[in-house]
Structure 1
Amino acid sequence: MSEDGRHGLTIIAFIGSVFSPYYAWDAARDPFAHCAINVVLYGERANRFAMTERTARSLARDAASFSLGPSSLEWDGSVLTIRLDERSAPIPHAVRGTVRVRPRALTAQPFTLDAPGLHRWWPMAPDCEVEAAFTAPDLAWRGSGYHDTNDGDGALEDSFTDWTWCRAPLKAGSAILYDVRRRDGSGQNLTLRFGADGARREMRPPLEASLPPTGLWRMPRATRSDDGRASVTRTFEDTPFYARSLLASTLDGEAVRPVHESLSLDRFRNPLVRLMLPFRMPRRIG
């Protein structure tokens, strides 16, 4: 994930695409039959959303690389190089370019999001330098970025009802807020600050701050801040079950512009919502 104030970029490599309707409908629940590289690009002149699902026949991976169809990710020990050659949907536009992610430091450990330990999240590199160069559309920039990993042993919608997450760059390091609501009625609010060296720092838990719902789908949004106040600067993504936004707030005494997401898994599991998803998530066999 990267943004520079004018552009935003999210890239997710999936084995077992957790938001895939095809995966949800698959009785075998084989994650390798449902792989995807999701690219979401926001710019002043062009926006793109690409998420083509492919099978294991299009997948190759080892300890340092991951390739799926025409796109790939490769780690050389200091730089993650992502080469993209995808096509957006429902309007087919090329999404082609190279993104280089340079973590300033790596963190020590993952976090468990549910009581049984089925879902794990690791904010591996909370503070990165990102260089993006696209030929389709024609865009290039440098900005602040973030890299994490998720893995799990069950469907997200079986364990959680909703969550909110945000990450804000700070003068030295970054802050991450991750609030999950579990299906058993319990919850977990993570308040994390990492220094520029990747080490975890103490941070006072901020106060609840309300946000307006999104304009089209009325997705609920909420966050936390030092003074219990926050505002939406820009809504990047407004869907029936997910919203991504740029906020203005205060965290650990600093004025910040966090990238924020809201996810409703109650909405996602609605059969009507799942029937809408293939229009944006086409599937290719082979």
Structure 2
Amino acid sequence: MPPITDLVVFALALAAAGVVSGLLAGIFGIGGGAILVPVFYQVFGYLDVPEAVRMHLSIGTSIAIIVPTSLRSFTSHRKRGAVDIDLLKGWIVALPLGAILASVIAAMISSVGLRLIFVVISLGVAARMLFNQPHWRLGNDLPPNPWKWIAGVVIGTLSGLMGIGGGVLNNTFMTMYGRPIHQAVATSSGVGVLISIPGIFGYIWAGWGAAGLPPLSTGFINWIAVALIIPIALVVTPYGVKMAHAMSKRHLEMGFGIFLLFVGARFLYSIYG
């Protein structure tokens, strides 16, 4: 067991991650999972959580934290009238279905496989955001069903495999079809709610009875980390929302792209470093 001073340091690191994830939830409409998953991976590794379940535990715990941060972000954005409620209603089955599929896949995939999924999606979306051109569009409005519904399932599945709230992918999806980045960010907060709630139950099921999990874990969710981060993230999320509405479209895209590059590089290092 690590010395108490080291545990305090890591508790402070988790608290700092809570601040960052809360701001990100507000600024980008995401649940903050893209920063929490790498932090959890390091902390759980230091606590000697086996490699076989460490990434799974990191993702499941992140999903649990996304529920309240996404709800807080969604209510703040909705008050400003920026959320596409019709799109969320159309995805009320598709997104949870994708999240459940993700937990089934996570129960069968390796830690390295999960990290590679994280890297590929993060770097792909980062390239699109950083080098975005006006003609990089698939259409002037969202596609009709069944394509829009299928997109919801895909977003739910990939987000569930990354431990994120879907903002990373939904922001890309909506902007590629001509929607303003601010509307995409606001709507993504609702996407996070629809993915994370079923995701909690999925990751509890996927990790039920797994060996090597730390104390106070239910399946692939560690409630100590959840309890440390949620209160902090809830306090700072509304400040992130204010920042998002004060920033220009290009500033949002550039900030989002740089952030995703950092995340992708971090996980590449964890695999090959």
TM range (shorter): under 0.3
Name the TM-score, length of structure 2 as normaliser: 0.25
| Higher-helix-fraction structure | 2
Query: Which structure ranks higher in relative contact order (CA pairs < 8 Å, sequence separation ≥ 6)?
Result: 2
Query: Bigger radius of gyration, 1 or 2?
Result: 1
| Higher-strand-fraction structure | 1
Name the TM-score, length of structure 1 as normaliser: 0.24
